[in-house]
Each structure stands twice: as C-alpha cells, then as structure tokens.
Amino acid sequence: MRAAKRFNEQRGGFFAGGLTYYTIFALFPLLMVGFAVFGFVLASHPDLLKTIDGKIRESVSGALSQQLVGLMNSAIDARASVGLIGLATASWAGLTWMSHLRVALSEMWAHPVHRVGYVRTKLSDLTAMIGTFLVTMLTIALTALGHLRPMATVLSLFGIPELPIFNLVFRLISILISVLVAWLMFTWMIARLPRQPGRLGTSMQAGLMAAIGFELFKQVASIYLRTVLRSPAGAAFGPVLGLMVFANVTAYLVLFATAWAATKDPHSEHIEPPGPAIISPRIQVEEGLGVRQTVAALIAGAVGALTISRLFRRRR
C-alpha cells in the first residue's frame, strides 16, 4: 500500500509520538488558564462561591473540608498570577505544538523545506494556531447542536412532541454531524497547515477518511472507558491513559490520511533536478601490441610470405 509506505518512509510513527507528547504537555498550562478563569468567575459571583463552599462542607467533614476551602480561596486570590503564567506557557507550548504539527504534515506531503526567518515562521505558526482554534471551536459548536438536548429544545420550540423514535433519529443525526465537523477540521489540517498548502480535492478525501476513522475510534473508546472506569484502578489511571491514547491515535489518523492524500496527488512528488552534465574527453593510450594484434600480424606476415614466394616461382 503506497500510503503505508509513504507513512513509514517519512517517519510518521516518530512524528505521531512527538505530537502526542506536545499535546499532553500543552494541556497543563491550559488547565492553569482554566483555573484562573474559574477563579475570576467565582470572585465576581459571591453567591456562587458561597454555594460551592457550602457543598464542600456538606460533602466533606472535618479538617479536609477546611483544607479544600482554603485551597479554593488561595486559587481565587492567585488567579491573576496563575492566569498570566498559564497564558504565557500555553502560548509557548501551543506555538511549539503547531510548529511540530506543521513539520510533520509537510513531511507527509514530502514538500521541500524552504528556509525563512525565525520571526516570519513564528508569525505563520501563530496565524495557523489561531485559525485551527477557530475551526476547532466551530466544530465543537456544531457538534453540540447534534446532541439530544439541543434537538429536543428545537422540537419544543416548534411544538413537536417528543417520541421514542426521535432518540434514535437524534443519535444518528449526532453521529452524522460529528463526522461532518471532524471532516471539516481534518481537511483544514491536511490542506492548510503544512508549510506549503496541499491540494484541496485530495485533502477533502483524506479528511473524510480520517473523520470516519475518528468517529469509529470514539465509539469504541466510549464503550471501553465505560467498562474500565468501573474498577478503582481504571478510575484512577483510566482518564490519563485514555487521553494519551486519544492524542496518539488522532495524530496517527491525521498523518496517515495526509500520507494517503500525498500518494493520490501527482503533483506532490518533489523530483530533484538532475545535476549538470560533465563532458570530459577520454584519451586512451595503448603501448605495444596486444595478443590478438600479434597473432593477426603473424598470420598476415605468413600469408604475405606465401604469396610472394608463389609469385617468384611463377616467374621462373
């Protein structure tokens, strides 16, 4: 299979592992930003803070509840510094992740590397990261519209009663919308994120293939997680392992789909121009006679001698 050959030749597994690492690494500063935003929300809504405080004291008794409340108050007090540090770290980690993703996609396309300035490269990565963020937010919004509750709300607005058959219909619509939005996201990544954009037609085909594989993986993973999380060990380590597997499988899907698109695109193969032709005269000097030449000379001499001797005999 040409796609598998291209994927292996361009070190797809190596890049998928690197993308998995940077994806997990970028989540920690994002969590810091999330905690900071949560702290600002609680600081501006005292009633919500009192409600959460009361829930903690009701659920946890003794000194542990005091410690949890103290940690929450400390996080709220340090929300500005945590948010700034998290935002700066998230920006750096996001740019690093985007740079490695674009390099990996360019390798799958086998595009030639053109050296540009550092500032220009980072600005290009920043633009690509913002575009990817907007596309991801759009896909999340479209996916949310396909869930059961938004669909039920739409039915209630039109005065349509809820029937059991609608649950199956909404489930199918939800899966279809998930595939469509994943198709949009993967097509964007395959076609526009490489250093040199790929062809949109083949990228759309590859994006659809990746979207279908991604949806199948999500369905299998949801069943697996529901089974694993029932045990204490699964509840402790399942989310972390699931996140790592999710990031790795997604990276493999994107890179393999890009390799497939590259094999379908006749213009993606970069053929190096031949080197300059070098014409040099060849002078061959042979010293003396060879074996064949010596034998031929002996035969010619013998024939000549016989001919001359016969001529002399006839004259006599």
Residue 313 lies in a domain: no
Residue 253 lies in a domain: yes
> SS in 3 state form for the chain?
CHHHHHHHHCCHHHHHHHHHHHHHHHHHHHHHHHHHHHHHHHHHCHHHHHHHHHHHHHHCCCHHHHHHHHHHHHHHHCHHHHHHHHHHHHHHHHHHHHHHHHHHHHHHHCCCCCCCCHHHHHHHHHHHHHHHHHHHHHHHHHHHHCCHHHHHHHHHHCCCCCCHHHHHHHHHHHHHHHHHHHHHHHHHHHHHCCCCCCCHHHHHHHHHHHHHHHHHHHHHHHHHHHHHCCCHHHHHHHHHHHHHHHHHHHHHHHHHHHHHHHHHCCCCCCCCCCCCCCCCCCCCCCCCCCHHHHHHHHHHHHHHHHHHHHHHHHHC
Residue 290 lies in a domain: no
Residue 5 lies in a domain: yes
Residue 275 lies in a domain: no
What pLDDT sits at residue 175? 78
Domain count, the chain: 1
* Per-residue pLDDT reduced to its tens digit, 133-179: 777 676 666 666 555 566 666 666 666 666 667 667 777 777 788 78
Q: State what percent of residues in the chain have pLDDT above 90.
A: 5
What pLDDT sits at residue 176? 83
- Give the confidence band of 256 by pLDDT, cuts at 50, 70, 90: very high
pTM over 0.85: no
- Confidence check: pLDDT of 183 > 60: yes
What pLDDT sits at residue 246? 84
Residue 300 lies in a domain: no
Residue 64: which domain range?
1-264
Residue 286 lies in a domain: no
- Mean pLDDT score, 243-255: 88
Highest mean pLDDT among 214-218, 231-235, 307-311: 214-218
What pLDDT sits at residue 140? 63
- Confidence check: pLDDT of 249 > 60: yes
More confident residue, 196 or 315: 196
More confident residue, 71 or 84: 84
Residue 283 lies in a domain: no
